[in-house]
Chains A and B, each alone.
Chain A
């Protein structure tokens, strides 16, 4: 039974690799291979850039005899990275899956349903935490020492890490699900909870560097005081006793989490979320809007009603607001700190600020999953007298609103708080992020219209695991870095090349590409949407 459910779950997770929803048929062998290769390349890129870099950077600890601290830091970062953003996705895939009722109505043990659900969560956590912990054993065996014991204990440790990620994800998902079914006004309170959780997450992330520095400085003392941390770190070094303690501890935690899920699953699943009174009631029908206004409000409601959507595709909004406030407070310090670097002529404060805001603005990718999120309700828009181009325009407008306004705020904070910028610099700091918003919104929507999967059972699949989102996230992170890098190279050739002109060229390219994607969306894309 469990095997059947697991097959169903994995078939759904990997469906986009093998099935073409547009043609309602299996993909060709070449298409499947291309998708797998693309995914492998993306993961390989993250593995090399994050995992390998971290392992190599920390290897000095192992050289210095603090092997346990090397693996401890790798392990903690793996857990943090693996559980990142899983709060709402776990709640969504475990408790809010559309086919929960169907499965519960069949003679299937509840345990099997839970196992099949958390298998998907486990796989995602494994992939993301594996990016961090996988290179550690290679770096250690090549750079420090190799033994069969190290490899075997590392394998057990890695399995333990992946289970810890699952445990944390499930616990947080449980808390969120409990809150969701109790909320009277889900949309507003979910936003608040999401913001608080995001804030908490970033507080922990920003302090992680201090924690790591502290661990490096006082590792021995910390290891003595918190013995579990030492066992955690020493487990993969060939220390079988530490490994046994670590494995037993993880097994105990996993057992407790399993009991909690097992005991509460049916109760949470069968409580209808938000089945409380909405006080406005019929009054909501009285307000009239234009067609465009109604479609925009629909998009806004969709975005703000889903914590998973906000958390995964709107993180940049919070970061831009926080970044704006932070730059007001520390603007002078930033300018002073970057002064020596800027004085080399290899970079410019204008370019760095414009790229930093663009990076945050690019972390908003609301349009990317928005077409797939129509799911089974796509018939509504298709049967109403609304041109598909208007629907798609509303999606772009929603993205522009949520990403553009905070980008303007963040740009204004940066432009007017950092000293030494002239009018052209200030314009550059506004223009590049806005061009990034235009590009990510149109690119995301364009990609979202390419074979969207409308048959998901949990909205987390289009939000987190779809091709458009993956491409937008990676492109959004890389592009500003590329702009900064190219500028440094450019300055080698033309030392006096003005930064505002350079930014202007890239902004023009961004707007040009955005216009191209916009045209494609409004013509081909609109036809595709009508025929979904």
Chain B
């Protein structure tokens, strides 16, 4: 579903992402972990088509993001680490806007928005302006907006930050169910316990370079993911 090959992004002399290669197949929940500033957000933004990169290629379902960005964006959804949404819209208007962009019909949008907002307990707040939402509510709204058009690939940058335990649990279930139905999820997280339980595969990035990737068993073996991560960090210091 997503094939990243030799991706490199530089800011001046500093390589934020350095020759990164990853392949995310259909049905996989793929975790992306690394220290702050490791290059996770840059990678996700490049895949989402909102940031240019210097070299390498990104294929979404076989389509090159640089050649057909609109086609790629139709197949995926992106949730940033800090979802700044339109303050001048209500939650319902925002979801309606996203539904319009993806050309969702009246019945399907009503059904999906109703279903997902119920799951996150956001139904009664949909009429409120986004400016009145808490961080967690904005995060829930961004998640719903990503799910309503049923993309093939969902990119998420720290999706659990700001969510209450119930919403966190709901999101994990949604992620698993989404991938079980053939979708793919590529997400970054610092919560290693979540990554360990949820992910089919995981990649560890350090200073822009991929230092380990594979199935959860391949990466961590008999240790915990936290132990492996700390060990790799220490080794590369």
Contacts and interface: CB of A to CB of B under 8 A. Distances in A.
Interface in B185-216: none
A282 B92 contact: yes
B162 interface: no
B101 A285 contact: no
Interface in B1-50: 11, 48-50
Residue of A187, A293, A305 with highest tally of chain B CB at under 10 A: A305
B97 A298 contact: yes
A285 B96 contact: yes
Interface stretch (A33-41, A272-280, A463-471): A272-280
Nearest to A384: B101
A294 B89 contact: no
Cβ-closest 4 pairs across A and B = A281-B127, A294-B100, A305-B88, A284-B92
Contacts of B127: 277-282, 284
Contacts of A379: 50, 78, 80, 84
B98 interface: yes
A106 to B, nearest CB: 18
B91 to A, nearest CB: 9
A377 to B, nearest CB: 5
Interface stretch (B105-113, B166-174, B175-183, B227-235): B105-113
Interface of B: 11, 48-50, 52, 69-71, 73-74, 77-78, 80, 84-90, 92-93, 95-106, 109-110, 113-114, 117, 123-124, 126-129, 131-132
Contact of B131 (A273, A287, A291, A382): A273
Contact of B96 (A24, A275, A286, A531): A286
Nearest to A24: B11
A387 to B, nearest CB: 6
A7 interface: no
A291 B103 CA distance: 7
Contacts of A105: none
Interface string A174-193: 00000000000011000000
A87 to B, nearest CB: 19
13 contacts: A274-B132, A275-B128, A280-B127, A284-B127, A285-B93, A288-B109, A291-B100, A377-B85, A383-B73, A383-B77, A384-B73, A385-B70, A531-B52
Contacts of B92: 278, 280-285
Contacts of A272: 131-132
A386 B73 CA distance: 8
Contacts of B11: 24
Contact of A306 (B88, B102, B105, B128): B88
B86 A282 contact: no
Contact of A385 (B89, B102, B110): B102
A380 interface: yes
A219 interface: no
A277 B110 contact: no
A531 B110 CA distance: 33
Given A272-B131, A279-B127, A285 B86 contact: no
Contacts of B87: 305
B101 to A, nearest CB: 5
A294 B97 contact: yes
Given A301-B93, A385-B73, A291 B101 contact: yes
A301 B90 CA distance: 11
A290 interface: yes
A209 interface: no
A282 B126 contact: yes
A298 to B, nearest CB: 6
A278 B92 CA distance: 10
A386 B106 CA distance: 20
Contact of A376 (B71, B84, B104, B132): B84
Interface residues of A, number: 43
Contacts of A284: 90, 92-93, 96, 126-127
B84 A281 contact: no
A302 B129 CA distance: 12
A289 interface: yes
Contacts of B90: 278, 280-281, 284
Interface string A149-182: 0000000000000000000000000000000000
Residue of A187, A285, A379, A382 with highest tally of chain B CB at under 10 A: A285
A375 interface: yes
B152 to A, nearest CB: 13
A380 B86 contact: yes
A286 B84 contact: no
A382 B70 contact: no
Interface in A85-122: none
Contacts of A278: 90, 92, 127-129
Nearest to B75: A385
Contacts of A382: 48-50
A273 to B, nearest CB: 6
Contacts of A376: 84
Nearest to B98: A384
Given A285-B110, A375-B84, A385-B101, 17 more contacts: A273-B132, A275-B132, A278-B127, A284-B126, A285-B99, A285-B126, A288-B99, A291-B100, A291-B103, A294-B96, A302-B88, A379-B50, A383-B48, A383-B50, A383-B77, A386-B73, A387-B70
Contacts of B48: 382-383
A526 to B, nearest CB: 12
A187 B89 CA distance: 10
B150 to A, nearest CB: 14
A34 B18 CA distance: 38
Nearest to B80: A379
Contact of A277 (B100, B105, B106, B128): B128
Contacts of A383: 48-50, 73, 77-78
A379 B79 CA distance: 9
Interface in A363-421: 375-377, 379-380, 382-387
Contacts of A24: 11
Nearest to B148: A285
B113 A285 contact: yes
Contacts of B69: 530
Contacts of B78: 379, 383
Nearest to B76: A383
A285 B69 CA distance: 27
Given A278-B128, A280-B92, A282-B123, A288 B104 contact: yes
A19 B12 CA distance: 16
A298 B87 CA distance: 11
Contact of B70 (A186, A283, A386): A386
Contact of A274 (B80, B86, B93, B129): B129
A274 B133 CA distance: 10
Contacts of B102: 385
A273 B128 CA distance: 11
